[in-house]
Amino acid sequence: MTRDAILLMAYGSPDNLDQVEAYYTDIRRGSPPPPHLLEELKDRYRAIGGGSPLSRIVGEQRAAHADDAEKAGVTPPRKSIGELMDLDRATLASEDATFAVFDVPLKKDGSSGLPSDKIRLLVRIHKPTHTFDRIDGVLQKSFRSALVFKAKSGEGHIVFTSVDPLYPPVITSIAGTGTGSIFFVKLTRSYELSRTEFRRVKPYSDRFKVKLGPLKTIDF
């Protein structure tokens, strides 16, 4: 079975002025910009409306392609957990000096197959770095899918680990367990995927490092 796909890519950029400092720090490999350079960049974004339009443009392109695919009868791919998280409605569940845990509801989306009102998602953020540390999901109520399958209970987690402090943490563990039934036959399933070996991955900066030779003046 083969499928055609459209890959949309855009250079990462801040959507609003509040994101400029974090963006600038990121492209400086974790080094915060001096105040005068930060204000200079903010002034440039103010001149074009307060943020980059790239994310909006790519979003509009994606929506247009999705509409075309729907009209052509193409089944859209299921959205990931990250796409379904409704971060605008997240609430603080607990907090300490290092971590903040948010209760994040899921968006209602018919194509995902997930009952958003029956799943609780807890997202733990590492406060010093403002990055994901762990995501836990729990099925709070049973639900049916395709009439023949009934999910009765389930829980899972995703663990993030910092491999290189200059880059965001990566997923190092995914695990879950669940119980259900198909045609009244009870089922219990569990899975666990983990990754601990990163030495074979050559750092980005080493892969693309370019050494400049001596500069010479060309006489025209």
- Choose between 194 and 73: higher pLDDT: 194
Q: Is the pLDDT of residue 207 over 60?
A: no
pLDDT-wise least confident of 19-28, 96-105, 106-115 = 106-115
- Choose between 74 and 95: higher pLDDT: 95
Q: Are 178 and 143 in contact (CB under 8 A)?
A: no
What phi-psi label fits residue 8: left (phi over 0), alpha (psi between -120 and 50 degrees) or beta?
Answer: beta
Tens-digit pLDDT profile for residues 9-65: 777 788 899 999 988 888 887 788 999 999 999 999 999 999 888 888 888 888 888
Alpha-carbon torsion angle 14, 116, 99, 32, nearest 10: -10
Residue 199 is predicted with a pLDDT of 58
Q: CA 33, CA 39: separation in Å to the nearest integer?
A: 10
- Choose between 111 and 219: higher pLDDT: 111
Q: Determine the Cα angle at 85 with ends 154 and 138, to 5°.
A: 15
Q: What percent of the chain has pLDDT over 90?
A: 26
Q: Is the pLDDT of residue 161 over 50?
A: yes
- The pTM for the full model equals 0.58
Long-range contacts of 21-30 (CB under 8 A, 24+ apart): 22/130, 29/166, 30/165, 30/166
pLDDT-wise least confident of 40-54, 109-123, 151-165 = 109-123
Mean pLDDT, to the nearest integer, of 112-132? 84
Other C-beta atoms closer than 10 Å to the C-beta of 85 total 19
Distances (CA, A) of 107 to 15, 89, 110, 124, 139: 21, 10, 10, 19, 15
Q: Is the pLDDT of residue 6 over 90?
A: no
CA atoms within 13 A on the CB side of 129: 17
Q: Is the pLDDT of residue 98 over 80?
A: yes
Q: Is the pLDDT of residue 156 over 70?
A: yes
Name the H helices within the chain: 20-27, 35-47, 54-71, 81-84, 204-207
Q: Are 77 and 84 in contact (CB under 8 A)?
A: no
The DSSP output letter for 165 is T
Q: Are 38 and 19 in contact (CB under 8 A)?
A: no
Mean pLDDT, the chain, as a whole number?
81
pLDDT-wise least confident of 87-96, 101-110, 180-189, 205-214 = 205-214
Q: Is the pLDDT of residue 112 over 60?
A: no
Q: Which domains does the chain have, with CATH numbers?
A: 1-77 (3.40.50.1400), 79-210 (no CATH)
